[in-house]
A and B are shown apart, each in its own frame.
Chain A
Amino acid sequence: MNQHKEVLYGLYDDEEVLLKAVRKAKSDHLDIMDVFSPFPVHGLDDALELTESRLHITGFIFGAIGTLTAFLFMTWVFTRDWPIIFGGKPYFSAPAFIPITFELTVLFASIGMVVTFYTICGMGPGVTNPTLDDRITDDKFCIAFDVTGAEAKQVDKLRAFLSSTGAGEVNAKEI
């Protein structure tokens, strides 16, 4: 994964210009490597034809694990491992298990989803991912093309595309 990539990127000043450029790139069948922005741009997912995130499914699975863990564990403790009568209630007093079951469902789902999110995004404490420009987290919107080993003609075509769609700056960088 640590192969060096040559990247050609254009910086745009406005997200609406960026969206138009992305749509045009798609209709011209240009292969965009990635798009970077300082905040989530609405409509960008559709323009890039990104598939819907399946993160919420992970959340459901982790939540279900939490539900089962909590409920089955309490049931096992109070009916098998160490049955105690509290206030004359039955050993298996399901309604009293509901609050903890709910809390652990939320806890498992949240932790599971957050850990999954950082893992699939390749992020975590101390991780350094290469960035193209410091202004991308400030006020610039960026379209990046992977031009590793590309012919000069192809690079020129992409460069022309970026300038013609409104990129204020077009740069190349090795990451």
Chain B
Amino acid sequence: MSALVATRAPLGRQLRSELRWILRRPRTVIGLASLCLVPILAGVGLWFAVDGDGPAGPGLAAIIAGNGLVLPVFTLFLALPLLLPLVGAIWAADGLAGEAQHGTLRGLMISPVGRIRLLGIKAFGVATMSLVAVTLIAFVGAITGVVLFGGEGMLTLSGSTLSLGEALGRIVLTILLVTVQVWGVAAIAMAISACTEHPLVVMAATMAGVIVFAVLGAFSALDWLHPYLITSAWQGLVDVMRDPLPTEELWRSTALAGCYIVIGMSLAAMRLVTKDN
């Protein structure tokens, strides 16, 4: 093996080629384009709701009138329980199980690239694409929100108004926090992806897991279990819209997702190195 080290391709080129490989698939482009529709649909829906009497809805929807920069945050929290885990699972499923299905994973495994490095490159592709998807939703959401609702600053849940710079900072923070949560789900999906050669199994298992977690989170009798569930931390992310920013829950949810990433990637690595080509 050591003789092969010198022939390894530069890491940067490998990462670039992985991204190019994902982005060149038509379904990726179509998928990203349809993700852009989510904030537009949410914005239009809220626009009609705002016209009526009283608040447009519960939670963040209540403060959206004249407060367009809330829309990206609202849309991300809307997409986090189901849509974004699905997006993460799709990237993860394509990464290993999809390659295995097409028989191309075998070629990658016998190529002179370490399997851990292979996993790292695949994980990089999944992580980058998750970030791209989340950022895209937030970007389209911000544009849609400002067009439909206007607003120069951002009204927080606490009733104070943030300046434009602070508001953009909050949106970027939301993007990062939500992306880390998607990574947590995608890491588990990577572990499943390493065990199967059917991408559909990966997506079905991941989504089933997310739904089961959400159901478990709904039973108060199981409250001892809730701190372990990644889905239970998502509700607390709305703290990002409070002022002054309470960081405790945000750190906790990020650390929780970090644990899922470590577990998922370790399991994936364990499976990949023991896989017979």
**A-B complex is real:** no
User: Which A residues have a C-beta under 8 Å from some C-beta of B?
Assistant: none
* Chain B interface residues toward A at CB < 8 A: none
